Amino acid sequence: MCSREMRALFCRCELRRCVLLFAVTTLILCLVPALHAQVCCTHPLSETSHATGPHGGAYVAEDFMATVADPTGDNFNGRIVTESDYKTGYDSCWFAGNTIAMQPTALVNGDSWIVGSTNQYGPDAVGWTVAAVQYIRTNSPAHGIPLPCTTQVYQLMSMACSGGTASSYSANVLSETIYINVEVSCRQGVCVTLNE
């Protein structure tokens, strides 16, 4: 039978082997392109947006899908992206005394999405409710706010590794401009004209 000291020494040796085996396994997995982003915790460096159609329902909004990318072509499938503000936005449609909770500043909602197998996530809806658009068209000009007026937010996209710190990778500008008879929704310079 081994002494307590012998068992402790054996466990330390086993632990070192396990740590070494884990390090070697991780290094090998990092070299496999399909597993690189998940195992090595890489982050995208950019994203592109494309419009996919009206959000529908009670909204005058456009749905946008985004595709994340990095120079090595990593697959970010299953990873979570989250929006935050990189600076305070504005709402030029706002006027004091409005009854739809408009504010002179605008912020993103703080939503999160799961990236799919083609490195896409979404939809990210940009726009207002139908009731808000009608209210703005009816009431803003009477309060000295000419049409068109615009709400603009500054969206910072971040991705985290499981249990890790999030890294920001894309600063986007989202806007909704209300004209007399149409709205224009934009995400990252991709704009779509909507009819309410």
C-alpha radius of gyration, the chain, whole number: 24
159 found inside a domain: yes
Question: Is the pLDDT at 105 greater than 50, yes or no?
Answer: yes
Could you please report the per-residue DSSP string of 93-121?
T--TT-SS---SEE-----EEE--TTSEE
112 found inside a domain: yes
Residues 6+ apart with CB under 8 A from 192: 51, 62, 184, 185, 186
H or E segment at 22? Answer: helix 4-31
The answer to whether 115 and 76 have CB atoms below 8 angstroms apart is yes
Q: Provide the residue range defining the domain that includes 10.
A: 1-31
The least confident of 16-25, 27-36, 120-129, 173-182 is 16-25
pLDDT tens per residue, range 16-68: 443 333 344 444 445 554 554 555 688 999 999 999 999 999 999 999 999 99
Residues 22 and 51 grouped into a single domain: no
Residues 128 and 180 grouped into a single domain: yes
Residues 55 and 146 grouped into a single domain: yes
Residues 27 and 47 grouped into a single domain: no
Residues in the chain: 196
pLDDT at 173: 98
Q: What is the mean pLDDT of the chain?
A: 84
17 found inside a domain: yes
pLDDT at 170: 97
Residues 100 and 12 grouped into a single domain: no
Q: Is 31 exposed, middle or buried (0-12, 13-18, 19+ CB in 10 A)?
A: exposed
Residues 118 and 49 grouped into a single domain: yes
pLDDT at 42: 87
- Closest alpha carbon to 111 in 77, 66, 143: 66
Residues 171 and 95 grouped into a single domain: yes
Ordered alpha helix ranges (H), 41-141: 130-139
pLDDT tens per residue, range 60-96: 999 999 999 999 999 999 999 999 999 999 999 999 9
Question: Is the pLDDT at 155 greater than 80, yes or no?
Answer: yes
Question: Is the pLDDT at 133 greater than 80, yes or no?
Answer: yes
Residues 102 and 54 grouped into a single domain: yes
Q: What is the pTM of this model?
A: 0.78
114 found inside a domain: yes
102 found inside a domain: yes
Domains: count for the chain: 2
37 found inside a domain: no
Residues 130 and 185 grouped into a single domain: yes
57 found inside a domain: yes
pLDDT at 8: 44
Residues 162 and 75 grouped into a single domain: yes
